[in-house]
Structure 1
Amino acid sequence: MSVTSAMYTGISGLNANGEAMSVIGNNISNVNTIGFKQGRMLFSDVLSSTISGGSQIGRGVQIQTVENQFTQGSFESTENGTDLAIQGDSFFVVQSDNGRYYTRAGAFHFDKDDVLVNPDGYQVQGYGIVPDSGLSDGVMKPIDLTDYATTPPKLTSKVEMVLNLDSTQAVPTLPWDPANPVATSNFSTSMSVYDSQGNAHTATVYFRKTADNAWDWHAILPDATAGSPVDGTLTFDSTGALTSQLPDAATAQSLTFVGGVTAPQSIFFDLGVGATTQYASASIVSSQTQDGYYQGTLTKVTIDDKGYVNGVYSNGQLKKLAQVALAKFSSTAGLSKSGGTLFEETLASGQPIFSNASTPGVGKVLANSLEQSNVDLAAQFVKMITTQRGYSANSKTITTADEMLQEVLNLKR
């Protein structure tokens, strides 16, 4: 191998280490880039030349590949509920007019059209929700809240309560009088129930002791034009447990409200057989619920660890609106960087497998979090030193080969 070839061998080392320094510099410059994955350069030797005797002499170095390192970055907590991070090796899916991309950078927000986007306006992809099951429908599309600004009212179909009725109470001296319920009962509790248009109607349930372990109950709804009051009985055993209710909890009571609403409206009254008690302590309501509500407006959006986008409404309802889509690849190292912390699929990466965080092995979605760059500054500075040394050493190869050529030229003197 000639001395001139030695110079070209040194040049290959300069070129390779110079490009390696570019990779290191790119890593360092992106140390604070959300979702950034550092790269590393791998070298390989150039095909050797064979000299007499079958010996081989190397011809320098070449860049074999620049690999993206998809190790998990640390998480930063944020105050933005739509900031998302993935615990696992999946990717968010975003779409623009130029195509579909994949990213680990989850700094998302809802734009003026109520569509979830990244800072560059790329639409985050997700799935719709099947109302009956509350699960994703598997149809990928942008996460758009336009149709979820309000939620319609729901009429009350069931009233449930659990309470204690004071066993030491005496039987009222006056017979039950719906026109004077307070004076002719021992205890009462009130709640609002709703018709099909979301109008609230007060329902007051009065409890009147009739004998040992026996009570009457009367539900009065002043707004009802028919079906009120609802009258029934309660029977307790010797331990104070409610053993029976009439009408029972499986018998619907028909009430009629005016104003063009659904009429009659069937409401089931469940007074807690097996849970309601009659003990020698003050009468008190432990819990009371009803399943109706008025129309609500969307006040807040939350995202859980399965990627469900939940709407919080002014009427207290929590509703699943969408689910964030995730993608996995057979070889993440085969993905191609597209800028903007985005990746594209290639033949080397394989096609994406789309799923969601409800699928085992896909990973968790963390709200109010962002994944930091996985660049290790200390390691990069060490690589910078070794790369600089390598560059300097290869330059010595060139200068030494030049001095050797000068010696050859000096032979003529």
Structure 2
Amino acid sequence: MLRSMYSGVSGMRGFQTKLDVIGNNIANVNTVGFKGGRVMFSDILSQTTSGVTASLEGEQGGVNAKQIGLGVTISSIDTIHTPGSAMTTNVPTDLRIDGDGFFAVSAGGDSPTYLTRAGNFTLDGNRQLVNADGMFVLSSDGEPIVLGEDVTSFSIGQDGSILAVTADGTEAVAQLGVVKVVNPSGLEKVGGNLYRVTANANPDGEFEIVTADDAELGTGAIIAGQLEMSNVDLTNEFTEMIVAQRGFQANSRIITTSDEILQEVVNLKR
């Protein structure tokens, strides 16, 4: 069979995956804290039909190798961790990290700790700070954050400190924790706006919950009353969609043309 036909098939598969990623980006254009993805391609190992001939000065010139490419494959699907735009809500439990840190959340007990950039938090019936799925937002000590029953109001500072107003005055009741990751693209998406730390995100997959607004660590400041929206750019996504569609059509044309050539070969007997 013609090599071009298999190359066309690999191209169609690649652009189909690219369209899948673009579709997911567009679907999450209004998802709080969402980070878009992109697909990168690389060529498959080429078939060498003739090797290189060295150049000998005064005797003969060099000859380049003759290689035929065997198609394309997906080299990576990257998560782009550029900051999303800020949306002001004026809700005191809506939080945005103005930097590279992540919030830490956990379901409690021996459940694993996940990271998130989605700061749409609320207080539950026990006055615990939780995310939309009821997971506890962790403090810098790695513990759930609970506001006492005597708290009438509270405010959250840029360093994550929670100042509560009670009958006895104002006091600091907790401090939000954040996590800094060496390689954010190495985080694994697990759904629900959550990430799991892998061995390629931090050494050995370990991490430490620290305080926000730390200039040395670069964790970023916490802004209360705002949310970080998706970093998906619709203009770029629609442009990439057109490119992927045309690439898919061109590769399908390669298969059609290869089929016509094979049909001519079959008809030689007639």
TM over 0.5: yes
How much does 1:302 deviate? Answer: 1.2
Q: Which has the higher strand share?
A: 1
How much does 1:79 deviate? Answer: 2.9
Q: Deviations over 1:294-352 (max 9, x none)?
A: xxx3111211111111101245x211000000001110010110101110011110132
Residue 332 of structure 1: aligned partner: 184
* Aligned AA (2:31): T
> Contact 2:11 / 2:72 at 8 angstroms: preserved in 1?
yes
Residue 285 of structure 1: aligned partner: none
* Aligned AA (2:44): V
The correspondence for 1:52, drawn from 50, 53, 64, is 50
Stretches of structure 1 lacking an aligned partner (at least 5 in a row): 128-138, 150-296
Residue 104 of structure 1: aligned partner: 117
How much does 1:353 deviate? Answer: 3.7
Q: Deviations over 1:120-141 (max 9, x none)?
A: 01100003xxxxxxxxxxx321
Q: Deviations over 1:85-133 (max 9, x none)?
A: 0000100000025411000000001111221100001100003xxxxxx
The correspondence for 2:143, drawn from 135, 141, 144, is 141
The correspondence for 1:94, drawn from 99, 102, 105, is 105
Distance 1:368 1:392, change over 3 A: same
How much does 1:358 deviate? Answer: 4.2
Residue 21 of structure 2: aligned partner: 23
The correspondence for 2:157, drawn from 284, 289, 304, is 304
CA distance in 2 between counterparts of 1:100 and 1:56 reads: 50
* Aligned AA (2:91): N
- 1:355 equivalent to 2:210? Answer yes
* Aligned pairs (5 A) from 1:24-43: 24-43=22-41
Counterpart of 2:29 in 1: which secondary structure? coil
The correspondence for 1:62, drawn from 70, 73, 80, is 73
- 1:398 equivalent to 2:251? Answer no
> Contact 2:33 / 2:193 at 8 angstroms: preserved in 1?
yes
* Aligned AA (1:356): T
Q: Which has the higher helix share?
A: 2
Counterpart of 1:17 in 2: which secondary structure? helix
How much does 1:375 deviate? Answer: 0.3
Q: What TM-score results when the alignment is normalised by the length of structure 1?
A: 0.59
Q: What TM-score results when the alignment is normalised by the length of structure 2?
A: 0.89
The correspondence for 1:383, drawn from 228, 231, 240, is 240
CA distance in 2 between counterparts of 1:100 and 1:23 reads: 27
CA distance in 2 between counterparts of 1:140 and 1:382 reads: 43
Superposition RMSD on alpha carbons, in Å? 1.3
Q: Deviations over 1:352-380 (max 9, x none)?
A: 24311142222100000100000000000
Counterpart of 2:173 in 1: which secondary structure? strand
* Aligned pairs (5 A) from 1:121-136: 121-127=134-140
Divergent runs of 4+, >6 A: none
Kindly name which structure, 1 or 2, has the bigger radius of gyration based on alpha carbons: 1
Percent identity of equivalent pairs:
44
CA distance in 2 between counterparts of 1:393 and 1:373 reads: 32
Q: Deviations over 1:230-284 (max 9, x none)?
A: xxxxxxxxxxxxxxxxxxxxxxxxxxxxxxxxxxxxxxxxxxxxxxxxxxxxxxx
> Contact 1:329 / 1:353 at 8 angstroms: preserved in 2?
no
Counterpart of 2:38 in 1: which secondary structure? strand
Equivalenced residue count is 250
> Contact 1:27 / 1:39 at 8 angstroms: preserved in 2?
yes
